[in-house]
Amino acid sequence: MTRSNDIEPCYLTAAEAAARIRDKQLTSEALVRSCLDRIAERDADVRAWTHVDPAHAIAQARELDKRAPAGPLHGLPFGVKDVIDTADMPTTQNSPQYQHHQPAKDAGCVAVARQAGALILGKTDTVEFAAGGRKALTRNPHNPAHTPGGSSSGSGAAVADFMVPLAFGTQTGGSHIRPAAFNGIYGLKPTWGAVSREGAKLLSASCDTIGWYGRSVADLHLVAQAFRLRDLAAQQPVAIKGLRVAMCKTPYWNKAQPAGQKSLATACERLQQAGARVDEFELPPTFRGLSDAQRTIMYGEGGAAFLPELLKYGNGLHHDFQDMAENRRGVTGAMMVEAYDLAASCAKAFDAMFADFDVVVTPSATGEAPEGLHTTGDFIFNGMWTLLHMPCLAIPCMKGPQGLPVGVQIIGPRYADARLLSIGDAVAPVIDAITPERAAHRG
């Protein structure tokens, strides 16, 4: 591999690599070859990818190296979850029915990334349709006996294992933030609707959100620039001293494992020691119903999303999707209306609470990644925020008793993504004690 300043290019964060490409200290081809070598070395064990074409990737990189930078992602390799359409690669949905499916055009998010200069390196494994059925083959790179989370399994593992600096994931319940926690990386789930979902498999129109992974807040910010998230240019640096932090255990605190509870306490203790004002914050009792409301809406809208698949494939379709399409959970119209109304009232109430604090810190998962590939973990600490359409930023925090990453997430009001990233810039170096370990590993 070609080394850049004595660091293997695949170990660079996206922000570091972008700066070196901009300063002509690194080429896109050198970065891509380094990532491909890493994939060749590690993917037989991690199994993050469903499609990689090395010759095509290198050809793309050489072309980008001939061009003037087109945007903030110029020359950076990007992984794409295999439920998101790509015009030059198959989109299999991890479904037996879609193994040879070749879309005619890129999904909206892929088109934006390409126009911002990104190079699509390949497709990453996923839970079937990002909704149920078959699990990904992907293993947690920290311990292959454990899940990387899901449904964005391959994207989270690929970024964590230095195979690619950036990758797209999706979230309907906890499919983006939870893998970030389990793999010890950074992830942004933007405000619902801030990024086009065109060309990504639909499960729940009210919840489905496209996000991205990186290995620093600066990485997430690069992609946010490409997507022109609102108010980025208006942000000023945030000081930790005096920052008003709400520690929110949520109504589901009894679901948190000791490692998950310790992670939240540790993050808040570190922030307090750095000068932030941390106060425990209890959500109103009405918020307790949000987890059930999210599931009601997800399964109710999922019925409409998978009816075409049922009519076409019948019993060849996995029973998870048959169940949704045939409404075997018995979701009624009244249940849907009640769930929508609860979400609307709680979202408005939660936005108003930011008059008293700047950011919420809450668990990003129950604890360490569970053992086994039969599960992707519980999304109890994610679903309510997805339903409320709040932006969420995952930050690694510590290692648990099994030596696996445990993280937290910071949350802001709707369409305050830019402010959340600025707060993330300030708090991540304080919360993330795993960063020095990662830096030592890549040397």
Predicted confidence (pLDDT) per residue in 72-90, tens digit: 999 999 999 999 999 999 9
The pLDDT mean for the chain works out to: 96
Does 309 fall in a domain? no
Q: Residue 412's pLDDT is what?
A: 98
**pLDDT tens, position by position, 298-327:** 999 999 999 999 999 999 999 999 999 999
What is the rounded CA–CA span in Å between residue 210 and residue 126? 14
Q: Residue 304's pLDDT is what?
A: 98
**pLDDT tens, position by position, 100-155:** 999 999 999 999 999 999 999 999 999 999 999 999 999 999 999 999 999 999 99
Does 96 fall in a domain? yes
Q: Is the pLDDT of residue 257 over 70?
A: yes
Higher pLDDT, 431 or 1: 431
- The percent of residues in the chain predicted with pLDDT above 90, rounded, is 96
Q: Is the pLDDT of residue 3 over 50?
A: no
The domain in which residue 273 lies consists of 9-284+345-441
Does 56 fall in a domain? yes
Q: Is the pLDDT of residue 1 over 50?
A: no
Contact 142, 160 (CB under 8 A): yes
pLDDT interval class at 370 (50, 70, 90)? very high
Q: Is the pLDDT of residue 438 over 70?
A: no
Does 278 fall in a domain? yes
Does 350 fall in a domain? yes
Q: Is the pLDDT of residue 2 over 80?
A: no
Query: Can you give the CATH number for the domain in which 126 is found?
Result: 3.90.1300.10
Q: Residue 436's pLDDT is what?
A: 63
What is the rounded CA–CA span in Å between residue 308 and residue 276? 51
**pLDDT tens, position by position, 171-197:** 999 999 999 999 999 999 999 999 999
Q: Looking at the annotation, which residues are catalytic?
A: 81, 151, 175
Does 295 fall in a domain? no
The domain total for the chain is 1
pLDDT interval class at 434 (50, 70, 90)? confident
What is the rounded CA–CA span in Å between residue 86 and residue 65? 22
Does 333 fall in a domain? no
Does 305 fall in a domain? no
**pLDDT tens, position by position, 195-253:** 999 999 999 999 999 999 999 999 999 999 999 999 999 999 999 999 999 999 999 99
